Structure 1
Amino acid sequence: MSTSALMSLLVTHPLEFFTLLRFRLFYSPKRDITAPSEHAHTGWDRKTMRRCWEFLDMKSKTIGGVIKQLEGDIARIMCIYWVVLRALDIIEDDMTIPEEKKQYLLRSFHELILVPGWKFTECNPNEKLRCMLVEFDVVNEELLRLDAPYREIIVDIAHKMGTGMADNSQRAAVTGQVYIETIADFDLYSYYVAGLVGEGMNRILAQSGKEAPWLPEQHALTNSMCVLFEYIDVIRDYREDIDDQRFLWPREIWGREIYGKTVGRPAFSKMEEMCEPSNRHQALWALSGMIVEALRRIIDTLDYLHLLQGENVFKFFALPHTINFVRMCVCYMNIEVFQKETNIRKAEIASLFMRSMNPKDVTGIYREYAGKLRKSAVPEDPNYVDLVVECLKIELWCEHYYPSQSRVQLPTPKGSIPLVFESGSRTRLSELAGKGKRDVAFEARAREIVASGKARRRFPWRKI
Structure 2
Amino acid sequence: MGVVEMVLKHPEELPALVKLKLAAMQATRYVPPEPHWAFCYNMLQKVSRSFAIVIQQLGPELRNAVCAFYLVLRGLDTVEDDMAVPIDTKVPILKAFHEHIYDPSWHFVCGEKHYKILMTEFHHVSTAFLTLAKGYQDVIKEMTERMGNGMAKFIEQEVESIVDYDEYCHYVAGLVGLGLTRLFYAAGLEDFALDVLSNSMGLFLQKTNIIRDYLEDINEIPAPRMFWPREIWSKYGNALEVFKEENRSREAVQCLNDMITNALKHAPDCLEYMSALRDPTIFRFCAIPQIMAIGTLALCYNNINVFRGVVKIRRGLTAKIMDGTRTMADVYAAFDDFSAILEAKIDKDDPSAALTQKYIDEIHAKCEARFLSDSRRKAFSIQSKTGHEICLVLAILILTFIMIIIVWR
1:234 corresponds to: 210
1:146 corresponds to: 132
Deviations 1:288-315 (A, max 9, x none): 0000001111101001101101111110
Residue 340 to residue 129, structure 1, CA distance change in 2 (3 Å): farther
Name the TM-score, length of structure 1 as normaliser: 0.76
Shift of 1:143: 1.1
CA contact (8 A) 1:329 1:369 kept: yes
Take 2:192 and 2:326, find their aligned partners in 1: how far apart are those partners? Answer: 24
2:59 corresponds to: 71
1:254 corresponds to: 233
1:315-464 alignment runs, 5 A limit: 315-404=284-373
1:84 corresponds to: 72
Question: 5+ unaligned residues in a row in structure 1: which ranges?
Answer: 36-41, 173-178, 260-267, 407-464
CA contact (8 A) 1:224 1:300 kept: yes
Deviations 1:235-255 (A, max 9, x none): 011111112210100011111
Shift of 1:19: 2.0
Once the two structures are overlaid, the 10-residue window that deviates more, 378-387 or 277-286, is 378-387
CA contact (8 A) 1:182 1:252 kept: yes
1:283 to 2:252 alignment: yes
CA contact (8 A) 2:20 2:323 kept: no
* 1:158 aligned partner, one-letter code: T
Shift of 1:13: 3.3
Residue 222 to residue 134, structure 1, CA distance change in 2 (3 Å): same
Shift of 1:17: 4.7
Take 2:171 and 2:313, find their aligned partners in 1: how far apart are those partners? Answer: 28
1:30-49 alignment runs, 5 A limit: 32=26, 44-49=32-37
Cα RMSD, aligned residues only: 2.3
Shift of 1:54: 2.3
Q: Secondary structure at the match of 1:73?
A: helix
Shift of 1:67: 1.0
CA contact (8 A) 2:27 2:52 kept: no
Q: How many residues align?
A: 372
Take 2:72 and 2:54, find their aligned partners in 1: how far apart are those partners? Answer: 18
Shift of 1:115: 1.1
Shift of 1:33: 5.9
Question: 5+ unaligned residues in a row in structure 2: which ranges?
Answer: 376-409
Q: Secondary structure at the match of 2:32?
A: coil
Take 2:200 and 2:33, find their aligned partners in 1: how far apart are those partners? Answer: 38
Shift of 1:392: 1.6
* 1:182 aligned partner, one-letter code: S
Once the two structures are overlaid, the 10-residue window that deviates more, 143-152 or 187-196, is 143-152
1:299 corresponds to: 268
Take 1:339 and 1:146, find their aligned partners in 2: how far apart are those partners? Answer: 45
Take 2:145 and 2:20, find their aligned partners in 1: how far apart are those partners? Answer: 42
Take 2:24 and 2:244, find their aligned partners in 1: how far apart are those partners? Answer: 44
Take 2:95 and 2:124, find their aligned partners in 1: how far apart are those partners? Answer: 21
1:209 to 2:188 alignment: yes
Shift of 1:274: 1.0
The structure where helix makes up a greater share of residues is: 2
Identity fraction in percent: 30
Shift of 1:47: 2.7
1:13-32 alignment runs, 5 A limit: 13-14=7-8, 16-17=10-11, 19-25=13-19, 28-29=22-23, 32=26
Take 2:358 and 2:241, find their aligned partners in 1: how far apart are those partners? Answer: 29
CA contact (8 A) 2:19 2:323 kept: no
Take 2:104 and 2:36, find their aligned partners in 1: how far apart are those partners? Answer: 13
Once the two structures are overlaid, the 10-residue window that deviates more, 230-239 or 350-359, is 350-359
CA contact (8 A) 1:360 1:402 kept: no
Deviations 1:5-45 (A, max 9, x none): 75x34xx632535523345359954995677xxxxxx7711
Q: Aligned match of 2:283 in 314, 317, 334? A: 314
CA contact (8 A) 1:17 1:347 kept: no
CA contact (8 A) 2:139 2:183 kept: yes
Residue 26 to residue 63, structure 1, CA distance change in 2 (3 Å): closer
Name the TM-score, length of structure 2 as normaliser: 0.85
Take 1:361 and 1:400, find their aligned partners in 2: how far apart are those partners? Answer: 14
